[in-house]
Amino acid sequence: MKALLLSEYRHLELADLPTPVPAVDEVLIRVAACGICGSDVHGYDGSSGRRIPPIVMGHEAAGIVAAVGREVRNCKIGDRVTFDSTVYCGSCDPCRRGEVNLCDHRQVLGVSCGDYRRAGAFAEYVAVPARIVYRLPDNLSFAEAAMLEAVAVALHAVSLIPIAPGSKALVLGAGAIGLLVQQALRVAGCSQVFVTDVDSTRLTLSESLGASAVLPSGDSLIDGILRRTGGSGVDIAVEAVGVNSTIASAISCVRKGGNVVLVGNISPEVTLPLQKVVTRQIRLQGSCASAGEYPRAMELLSIGEIKVKPLISAIAPLEEGPRWFERLYGREPNLMKVVLSPGNFSA
Contact between 312 and Zn ion per CB under 5 A: no
CA angle 229/234/237 to nearest 5° reads: 150
Contact between 277 and Zn ion per CB under 5 A: no
Contact between 121 and Zn ion per CB under 5 A: no
CB burial of residue 57 (10 Å; 0-12, 13-18, 19+)? buried
Shortest Cβ 233–Zn ion spacing (Å): 31
Q: Which is nearer to Zn ion, 34 or 174 (CB)?
A: 34
Residues 183 and 336: their CA atoms lie apart, in Å, by 16
Contact between 146 and Zn ion per CB under 5 A: no
Q: Which is nearer to Zn ion, 95 or 221 (CB)?
A: 95
Contact between 102 and Zn ion per CB under 5 A: no
Contact between 95 and Zn ion per CB under 5 A: yes
CA angle 213/218/224 to nearest 5° reads: 40
Residue selected from 5, 37, 111, 130 as contacting Zn ion according to rule CB under 5 A? 37
- Which DSSP state fits 120? -
Q: Taking CB under 5 A as the criterion, which residues in 54-93 touch Zn ion?
A: 88-89, 92
Q: Which is nearer to Zn ion, 57 or 260 (CB)?
A: 57
- Pick the stretch among 100-108, 156-164, 220-228, 248-256 that binds Zn ion (CB under 5 A): 100-108
Shortest Cβ 123–Zn ion spacing (Å): 16
Nearest to 152 by CA among 60, 285, 249, 50: 60
- Pick the stretch among 31-39, 118-126, 133-141, 263-271 that binds Zn ion (CB under 5 A): 31-39
Contact between 177 and Zn ion per CB under 5 A: no
- Strands 60-68 and 26-35, sheet pairing: antiparallel
Contact between 336 and Zn ion per CB under 5 A: no
- Pick the stretch among 101-109, 132-140, 180-188, 315-323 that binds Zn ion (CB under 5 A): 101-109
Shortest Cβ 41–Zn ion spacing (Å): 10
Residues 340 and 122: their CA atoms lie apart, in Å, by 7
CB burial of residue 332 (10 Å; 0-12, 13-18, 19+)? exposed
- Which DSSP state fits 115? S
Shortest Cβ 60–Zn ion spacing (Å): 5
DSSP 15-69: EE-PPP---TTEEEEEEEEEEPPHHHHHHHTSSSS-BPSSEE---EEEEEEEEE-
Reported residue count of the chain is: 347
Q: Which is nearer to Zn ion, 37 or 247 (CB)?
A: 37
Q: Which is nearer to Zn ion, 83 or 88 (CB)?
A: 88
Shortest Cβ 316–Zn ion spacing (Å): 18
Residues 244 and 266: their CA atoms lie apart, in Å, by 10
Shortest Cβ 150–Zn ion spacing (Å): 7
Q: Which is nearer to Zn ion, 88 or 134 (CB)?
A: 88
Q: Which is nearer to Zn ion, 52 or 226 (CB)?
A: 52
Cβ atoms of residues 248 and 221 within 8 Å: no
Contact between 103 and Zn ion per CB under 5 A: yes
Q: How many chain residues touch Zn ion (CB under 5 A)?
A: 6
Q: Which is nearer to Zn ion, 89 or 160 (CB)?
A: 89
- Which DSSP state fits 246? H
Residues 327 and 41: their CA atoms lie apart, in Å, by 10
Shortest Cβ 135–Zn ion spacing (Å): 21
**Residues at the site binding Zn ion, with contacts judged by CB under 5 A:** 37, 88-89, 92, 95, 103
